[in-house]
Chains A and B, each alone.
Chain A
Amino acid sequence: MIDLVVAAAAVGFWVLVYAFCRLLTRPASPAAAPATMELGAESPALVSLLVNRWSLTEDAAESTLLDLAARRFFELRQPGDDPMRTTVHLSARPPASSDLAAYESQVLERIRGLSVDGVVPITALTFRNAAESARWNKRLRQAVLAEARAAGLSRRRISKTMSTLLSVLAAGVGVVVGFAALRYGFGKPEDDQPPAFAFGFFTFAVLSTLGARSLGERDTPAGRAAASRWLGVRDWLRGHDQFASLPPAAVAVWDRYLAYGAAVGVTRLASAVLDLEMGDKRLVWSSFGGAWHRVRVRYPRFWPRYGRPLPHLLLRAAAYLLAGGLILRLFGALDYFAAPAVLLLALGAYVLIRSLLDLAFTREITGEVLWRESWKSKKQSDDSYVTWLFHLAVDDGSGDRTTAWGLPAAVGSGVRDGDTVTITVRPWSRRIVKIVTVGHGRSREIVDTVTEEETGSLSLTMMPAVATPLFSDETVAQVVGRAVVSAPLPLGLQYNAADTGKPMVLVQSLSGLPGKVAWRANQRGAEVPGGAFVAGDRAAFRRGETTYVVTLMGEGRAGRPHLPWLVAQAR
């Protein structure tokens, strides 16, 4: 018995040490220095970390955006009284972006990537995909923390030494627990003895994992001094009543003060307008057609026909007809059974006819994917579910309202928000039966290789044969910095590394309607002489009725700075 008590005491001791460590490493709450309007050298994102007791909030990204506006990378314009109508206009001659911190570049890239003709509504900067939003914000947080640590303003809350110490202690506790389990089993039959080693190891694993878990950041002496100074700035700004109600466009007057105000949390209105996290799925911005507009989206959930496959609808119609027929046959003599039976028969006939019409009259719609989310899923194992039907909201430019379609996972689950797609639909059941991606979305951070699934089903008669390649192998080699060999594809050419055979550059060409749609979808990023557009690893330009899209892939992305030059070499 004493062994169990000792084991429990050992675990208790470890918990006590851990609690002490947590207590000891709590981020400081520095006292504010006297109120001042003197700004320091730290960026607004770092200031946000410092004044929020070494935890990062959404203020970091928002204040960075305002700071970039204050530094004239872009302009914020508010056309009327409503700050929600503020638009971001990229500067024609922005300052050099080489000095920007990683997180500042990240915010700037998002704005540049989303802009259409250099303009993007401020409320269109939100994300439509939770995973993408989380990834983007995590990357930003990591970049801010890295800079804060490099500047000596912040450090890990649980240091590596402390973590090692807790692990060593946990090992000791594990030994004690294992020994207690061993002793507890003495005198018992062998098959009834507790697995002493397993007990010990389990205890060690749990405690050391708990000890190594990240608890965020904490202060440093330099960080405390800076935080104190910035809290003084916060008090100064807070003292000005008007500051709380300044809209984002006021950055034109207040310059970096507004950005720092957002960082320290005193710009209530500007912070309410700015949002770089998840957006509202029912009111989504669309740039389809070349101009930004808001589309109200409805997500049907309760109508039984929505998203259902044809066999399911036919089965339902048959069930109605059968039930109606049976009731009529068995209880036809009774008046009060006749009415529901006739109703069921009518319903069955209606569902049958509409389903067949739905099958006969499919429609083809081209538009921008506004939102995609899981709708129906089935249980695969104890704790995992597999989505078999998605909601897919598509803006075809015909109005400011739309209803989401049912997209079966089997038809295409790879489509993402912002992509331009051509969908073949059954209008009555609102089910998508075929989907073709004709342009990748602006929010796509990493340009994926265009797959056979996406391109193969496009009508090849609409595609021009690439009789003469636009770029010679030598020209492409200069861009990617290594020898390449071109290989024809159904929609263009792929330039592969001569030594490894890995794809470096993909040149796609589309004409007809898909060409027009692809051109619309790729008119983003910076416009270069000759009417071409370059955004990230992708460039697009027109020659006559044909749209050419050049995509750098894999190691070929190293040639990104030379992409405008490559486009200019098109012959």
Chain B
Amino acid sequence: MTTVTAVAGGIVCLLLIVVVAVLVATYNRLVRLRNQADASWAQVDVQLKRRYDLIPNLVETVRGYAAHERGTLDAVVAARGNAMSAAQGAGPASRAVAEGELTSALGRLFAVAEAYPQLKANENFAALQAELSTTEDKIAYARQFFNSAIQSYNNAVQTVPTNIVAALTGFRAREFYQAAGDERGPVRVQF
């Protein structure tokens, strides 16, 4: 009888050890995925801030050639301000809306610039435009990485058995950073 009890006790201990090990491994994985998502978000943030930094120079350059396009220039400045405000603690969804508005305003600004050959010929403007274009590309990739990280994280948080550990330790599904406005619109084809 004593032997049977000892064996049963041993099995229970072994099972407990296995369960604890699985819980720890699952928790660590969740932490790793969350950190990866945070790091990816930080990359998005870096690129967006880089875009904010480029805009004042761009606006000033355009103002030098097209001062009477005040409405467009003010819209860009306002959109930048809104986007920077949204960056203070807002989640990815509301931030995406503000960034979408800024992208639209910049699009209108570049459309206006098309009507000013001297502005287009300005080296500073061309350099800023190229820099902005590169930054937009980087934002797109950073957003892709962020969404990829969020997908992995959300999969872990919402699927069995990781969701049990996630629920016990306070991990919650997070929002994707989705393109807003013009970026999500259908591709227009002109003939």
Contact surface of A with B, Cβ cutoff 8 Å: 35, 37, 236, 239-243, 253-255, 257
Question: B145 interface residue, CB < 8 Å from A?
Answer: yes
**Contact (Cβ within 8 A) B144 A254:** yes
Which of B13-21, B117-125, B148-156 faces chain A?
B148-156
Task: Known A-B contacts: A37-B43, A37-B145, A240-B36. Give 19 more (CB < 8 A).
Answer: A37-B141, A37-B142, A236-B39, A239-B36, A239-B149, A240-B40, A240-B145, A240-B148, A240-B149, A240-B152, A241-B33, A241-B152, A242-B148, A242-B151, A242-B152, A243-B148, A253-B144, A254-B144, A255-B141
Give every chain A residue within 8 A of B40 (Cβ-Cβ): 240
In this complex, the interface size class of chain B, counting residues with CB under 8 Å from chain A, is: 10 to 19
Identify the closest chain B residue to A239 (Cβ).
B36
Give every chain B residue within 8 A of A253 (Cβ-Cβ): 144
Give CA–CA (A236, B46) in the complex, Å.
15
**Contact (Cβ within 8 A) B39 A239:** yes
> Measured between C-beta atoms, what is the minimum distance from B187 to chain A in Å?
15
Contact surface of B with A, Cβ cutoff 8 Å: 32-33, 36, 39-40, 43, 141-142, 144-145, 148-149, 151-152
Give CA–CA (A200, B134) in the complex, Å.
66
Give CA–CA (A35, B142) in the complex, Å.
13
Give every chain B residue within 8 A of A242 (Cβ-Cβ): 148, 151-152
Give CA–CA (A241, B32) in the complex, Å.
11
> Measured between C-beta atoms, what is the minimum distance from A32 to chain B in Å?
14
Identify the closest chain A residue to B151 (Cβ).
A242
Give CA–CA (A254, B142) in the complex, Å.
11
**Contact (Cβ within 8 A) B151 A35:** no
Give CA–CA (A183, B39) in the complex, Å.
74
> Measured between C-beta atoms, what is the minimum distance from A539 to chain B in Å?
36
Give every chain A residue within 8 A of B148 (Cβ-Cβ): 240, 242-243
Give CA–CA (A477, B89) in the complex, Å.
74
> Measured between C-beta atoms, what is the minimum distance from A226 to chain B in Å?
20
Q: What would be 5 A-B contacts, judged by CB atoms less than 8 Å apart? A: A37-B43, A37-B145, A239-B36, A240-B36, A240-B40
Identify the closest chain B residue to A35 (Cβ).
B39
**Contact (Cβ within 8 A) B141 A257:** yes
Give every chain A residue within 8 A of B39 (Cβ-Cβ): 35, 236, 239
Give every chain A residue within 8 A of B43 (Cβ-Cβ): 37
> Measured between C-beta atoms, what is the minimum distance from A256 to chain B in Å?
9
Give CA–CA (A236, B151) in the complex, Å.
16
> Measured between C-beta atoms, what is the minimum distance from B53 to chain A in Å?
17
> Measured between C-beta atoms, what is the minimum distance from B163 to chain A in Å?
17
Give CA–CA (A242, B145) in the complex, Å.
10
Give CA–CA (A239, B39) in the complex, Å.
10
> Measured between C-beta atoms, what is the minimum distance from B144 to chain A in Å?
7
Give every chain B residue within 8 A of A236 (Cβ-Cβ): 39
> Measured between C-beta atoms, what is the minimum distance from B38 to chain A in Å?
11
Give CA–CA (A243, B36) in the complex, Å.
13
Give CA–CA (A44, B32) in the complex, Å.
28
Give every chain A residue within 8 A of B36 (Cβ-Cβ): 239-240
Give CA–CA (A109, B47) in the complex, Å.
37
Identify the closest chain A residue to B32 (Cβ).
A239
> Measured between C-beta atoms, what is the minimum distance from B156 to chain A in Å?
9
- Among the interface residues A35, A240, A243, A257, which one has the most CB atoms of the partner chain B within 10 A? A240
Give CA–CA (A242, B144) in the complex, Å.
11
Give every chain B residue within 8 A of A241 (Cβ-Cβ): 33, 152
Identify the closest chain A residue to B33 (Cβ).
A241
> Measured between C-beta atoms, what is the minimum distance from B149 to chain A in Å?
6
Give every chain A residue within 8 A of B151 (Cβ-Cβ): 242
> Measured between C-beta atoms, what is the minimum distance from A67 to chain B in Å?
15
Identify the closest chain A residue to B152 (Cβ).
A241
Give every chain B residue within 8 A of A239 (Cβ-Cβ): 32, 36, 39, 149
Give every chain A residue within 8 A of B152 (Cβ-Cβ): 240-242
